[in-house]
Amino acid sequence: MELLLLYYIVTNLLAFMSFFLDKRRAKSGEWRISERTLLILVWIGGAFGAYLAMRLFRHKTLKPMFRIGVPIAILVHAGITGWFIF
């Protein structure tokens, strides 16, 4: 169980930082992190961190793939975690 918690902490921090960096790079016109990479981070477990970053930095909030996909990923991972716990 501790390993699962550690996994989610790491993936959520990684997703949060990736969204932050992508937003900062978007503002300065630098090379961006691909949407595909951001979505992979969401679906491997970083959905909550991505959602928090989307709200805090107002990044990717108008894109349907993120606006709808991230909350769905949160529900999926909540279900997976619940399954492991019970």
Exposure string for 42-79, b = 16+ CB within 10 A, e = fewer: bbebbbbbbbebbeebebbeeeeebeebbeebeeebee
Which two tokens mark 11? 């993936």
85 burial type by CB count under 10 A (0-12 exposed, 13-18 middle, 19+ buried): exposed
Q: In angstroms, rounded to a whole number, what is the distance separating the alpha carbons of residues 35 and 49? A: 15
**pLDDT tens, position by position, for the chain (86 residues)?**
899 999 999 999 999 999 999 999 999 999 999 999 999 999 999 999 999 999 999 999 999 999 999 999 999 999 999 998 88
Which two tokens mark 44? 């491997």
